[in-house]
Structure 1
Amino acid sequence: MAKVKKIVGFFWGLLLGNIFSFILLLRYSPTSKTSCLVSDPIKAARHTLRKNNINLIMVGVMTAPMYFETRAKAVYNTWGRDVPGDIKFYSSQNSHSSDIPLIALRGVDDSYPPQKKSLMMLKHMHDNYLNKFEWFMRADDDVYVRPDRLEELLRSVDSRKTWFIGQTGRGNSEEFGLLSLDSDENFCMGGPGVILSRETLKRVAPFVDDCLRHLYTSHEDVELGRCVRKFAGVSCTWSYQASDCDCKAREVI
């Protein structure tokens, strides 16, 4: 009987020892520490993006030659300097400026509404900068952005998902039923600026030509929203930080 007790005691001791060792291994092993550091999916994704030299945001500002020396230059010399990424100004074919980082879009003029300019700008951003930034912003040259708040907002959102961020619109009362929108559809109003995640831009840009062939209204922001909804499957996400104010220069974020 004493021999049996000794055997049982031996195995119990062996079992408890193995359990204790396993706990210590989990607690102090490098793998466990790494797992704790990357427990937040957004932080883990952003850590990987930083390792791959991917910046936060690329801002594309639509402008025209008549505004190069006024609106565009003011944007570039104020909040444009503090963008947590990069900023480019997009204008018509054959445009030139030595004061702002300008991209002249081939086959695009300065006619209004700027539907083609807007969509071709997004295509250019996709073709040249997709793998360099997490977010992409379409902005007008009369908008004012708070880069610090913009950065704070975007760093709290997972850019790997499809996002279409801005001030939600459905048209005014006079346009009700005339925008070819279903009762549950909306768009991001262009005035305060529109932000697309890299995944959204990746899904939309290859179909820009299709969107330009199927325009239902004269509103650039409505048609951009329609294009995003059709090919990225996402509508405008309301952000209280993106709002249009009753002032000469509009403010976003």
Structure 2
Amino acid sequence: MNPYQYQAPPTGIELVPRPLKMKLTVRAVGANSSSHGRQRTVGQLLGVIFGICLGYILTSTIRHFMLNPHICFSKHNIPVYDNINEAFRIIKHDRGKDTHNSAKSLVFVGVMTASMYLNTRAKAVYETWGRELPGKIAFFTSEASVSAGDLPVIRLKGVDDSYPPQKKSFMMLKYIAEHFSEHFEYFMRADDDVYVRSDKLESFLRSINSSKPHFIGQAGKGNQDEFGHLSLKDDENFCMGGPGVILSRSTLLKVAPHVRDCLKNLRSTHEDVEVGRCVRKYAEVPCTWSYEMQSILYHNSSGTEAFTGSLKQREVHRAITLHPIKNHTHLFRLHSYIQVVWF
């Protein structure tokens, strides 16, 4: 009906003229209060329904944040693996089977990498020593990274590929603890430019009591220029990240709940220094003070020239890990050499 078209009023309706106006206002006599009452009832009902819906949404949202605290980070359209079943699918591990202390559950290796290295270094790691582990491996990268091929890639929410990778390292440890802590005995933090002798790693880990807190690596206190600038006391150290760091389950579980606090209290720009500080504070265990670790978890100071020449070296034959191998083609070369020596 056209609102401006005149309609004859029904019985019981009187017309009340309004001064200086060309249109008439219609007022219902006797029906006004009941109409307003119905409107109030409908309004109250809608208000109750709206309140119930809003309460449900808020409750569900709060509960979701409490169960998934890392959801507070920014999100992109690229899916980020968070569901625990999906996490086990990625690493190709059957969480329903009891594989305690078996060839498939001794160690989980988390490799920190970046989007630009997924198709080179990360792929080389996965196609060489990554397939021979007495356990599983996954490559942790930024949220915006795109996975390559069949690589077991886990994109961390709210994490980018900026350097130093402090946030990436801490959030990787948190993710590993939340998803895999009950399924492996040891957990190794590795870079994508390290080579790991899987046979030697297994022998080494099986010689240690996994029920005790361990923080295993090549102990460091910083170079001469950094001495006194890392907020380390004379009796404090950290495990150098390059050649690899190993944590037992108890150590990981003590540290993981506090990674956000550790990220809020960084005292240096060095990721491995801050991880060591966090482990020392909450797990109350230092990095291994063993001189032998320098040859077991070996770091070559030659930089990009490391392991590019003759591989017939004592360190190559003796070490569990070799670092760094900057060119992924050299990693394949090293792996081929190890296979010949091994067999």
1:241 equivalenced with 2:296 (yes/no): yes
Distance 2:269 2:144 in 1: 25
| One-letter amino acid of the counterpart of residue 128, structure 2 | T
Residue deviations 1:210-238, cap 9 Å, x none? Answer: 00000000000000000000000001013
Give me the whole-angstrom Cα distance separating, in 1, the residues matched to 2:145 and 2:155: 5
Please state if 1:190 is matched with 2:245: no
Percent of residue pairs bearing the same amino acid type: 59
Contact 1:143–1:252 under 8 Å retained in 2: no
Gaps of 5+ in 1: 1-46
Decide whether the 8 Å contact of 1:54 with 1:132 is kept in 2: no
Q: Which residue of 1 aligns with 2:138?
A: 88
Residue 166 of structure 1 is matched in structure 2 by: 217
Secondary structure at 1:175 match in 2: coil
How far off its partner does 1:55 sit? 1.1
SS of the residue corresponding to residue 228 of structure 2 reads: coil
| C-alpha displacement of 1:243 | 1.7
Q: Does residue 1:63 correspond to 2:63, yes or no?
A: no
Question: Which protein has greater RCO, CA pairs closer than 8 Å, 6+ apart?
Answer: 1
Runs of 4+ deviating beyond 2 Å: 47-51, 246-253
Using the alignment, how far apart are the partners of 2:297 and 2:243 within structure 1? Answer: 6
Deviation track 1:27-55 (CA, whole Å, cap 9, x = no partner) reads xxxxxxxxxxxxxxxxxxxx99448x981
Does the CA-based 8 Å contact 2:99-2:105 persist in structure 1? no
CA distance in 2, matches of 1:252, 1:48: 24
CA contact (8 A) 2:144 2:160 kept: no
Cα gap change, 1:50 to 1:178, in 2 (>3 Å): closer
Which residue pairs with 1:139 in the alignment? 190
2:161 is aligned, of 81, 102, 110, to 110
Highest CA radius of gyration, 1 or 2?
Answer: 2
Deviation digits for residues 106-134 of structure 1 (CA, Å, limit 9, x no counterpart): 01010000000000000000000000000
Distance in 1 between the 2:193 and 2:101 partners?
31
Superposed, 1:17-96 pairs within 5 Å as 49-50=100-101, 55-96=105-146
CA RMSD after TM alignment: 2.0
* Aligned partners of 2:239 and 2:287 also within 8 Å: yes
Take 2:144 and 2:296, find their aligned partners in 1: how far apart are those partners?
A: 36
For residues 214-225 of structure 1, what are the structure 2 equivalents within 5 Å? 214-225=265-276
1:124 aligned partner: 175
TM-score when normalising by structure 2: 0.58
Letter in 1 for 2:129: W
Q: Give the counterpart letter for 1:111 in structure 2.
A: S
- 8 Å contact from structure 2 (residues 198, 320) kept in 1: no
Kept in 2, the 8 Å contact 1:135–1:195? The answer is: yes
Change (3 A) 1:48 1:118: closer
1:197-208 to 2 correspondences below 5 Å: 197-208=248-259
Task: Structure 2 unaligned segments of length 5 or more: list them.
Answer: 1-97, 308-318, 322-343
Taking structure 1 as the reference length, what is the TM-score of the superposition? 0.77
